[in-house]
Structure 1
């Protein structure tokens, strides 16, 4: 196998968060065809860990899937913003906790639907967060709680944590435990 040849693309729909293109592609040895390509704004997310080995999780409803689950703070990286800056901003807006930039370390990076979607997820680990305010984005979560890291694998298995960025970050943290 080799790289596909891209002959061009035409936009079908565009917004600041998502765009849909039809891309004229040609896999080596196969006929050209139009392939749908979804482009999503990059996402920054944070797994927050405290001194008691607990993670800060948000209980929220997702209308797109009609489901409730626990998630980590996350959001779109705005134009001109670094993923790190977006991570710090999202934590403060969604939870009211502040993280100093030096407390933020890369934990995971993934592209969740590489075959038809250009989406880039940057996940960070943060320790030493401190509560400085109430959440600004009050629509983001019904509850915000520190939950034991030892319970996270069971919560993922029970589909209580299903968001890809949360599962990726939390599994990476569990895999790196001593």
Structure 2
């Protein structure tokens, strides 16, 4: 056991939904005391940095109920059970943007909120977009609108909180450091 590890003594599942599971774990702390941890279990997700031939970044705008507002985000979606992240990434790119690609490069994977959730996001990059011959269908409860923006336009919208989520902020930082987006 590492010096910071917490040993789980009991898990109580509070809620099990389509996307998340909420549980409360009773744990033994490194000093021998016990405590409770409220945790969200998530199957993981993907996000895609997609650049057009003109070097514009592909975004989708959608309403986020948790925020009670619409924001612009890079295309993304939840992993389905047993699905490989690159398969999810291609499916989400096609469904949300009308583009496909033969080349997705994994940039990195990161935890979104490790203090209470185990969601791991796999971030992909492509600059080899091709329009789909026939549009893919969105999920029945999903409403999005695609937009293509320059890095400068996206950074301006981020300063106005129209782009306001971690995966998209990470993508903008990546592109800024890479110097690829026009």
User: What TM-score do the two structures reach when normalised by structure 1?
Assistant: 0.89
Q: Which of 7, 14, 20 is residue 12 of structure 1 equivalent to?
A: 14
| 1:88 and 1:98 in contact (8 A); partners too | yes
Residues 1:163 and 2:158 are matched in the alignment: no
Name the counterpart of 1:125.
Answer: 125
> What is the aligned residue count?
175
Q: Report the equivalent of 2:107.
A: 107
Alignment of 1:67-86 (within 5 A): 67-86=69-88
Question: Secondary structure of the residue that 1:117 maps to in structure 2?
Answer: coil
Pair 1:89 & 2:86 matched: no
Give runs of ≥4 in structure 1 deviating > 3 Å: none
Q: Give the corresponding residue for 2:148.
A: 146
Task: Report the more deviating stretch, 126-135 or 69-78.
Answer: 126-135
CA RMSD, aligned part only?
Answer: 1.8
TM-score, scaled to structure 2: 0.88
User: Among 48, 51, 62, which residue is 1:49 paired with?
Assistant: 51
3-state secondary structure, aligned to 2:10: strand
**TM superposition shift of 1:115:** 0.9
Q: Please give the alpha-carbon distance, in whole angstroms, between the structure 1 residues aligned to 2:52 and 2:96.
A: 17
Deviation at 1:135, TM superposition (A): 4.5
Secondary structure in 1 aligned to 2:96?
helix
Counterpart in the other structure of 2:116: 116
SS in 2 for 1:155: helix
Shift of 1:37: 0.8
Deviation at 1:49, TM superposition (A): 0.8
Range with bigger deviation, 148-157 or 82-91? 148-157
Deviation at residue 168 of structure 1 after TM alignment: 1.9
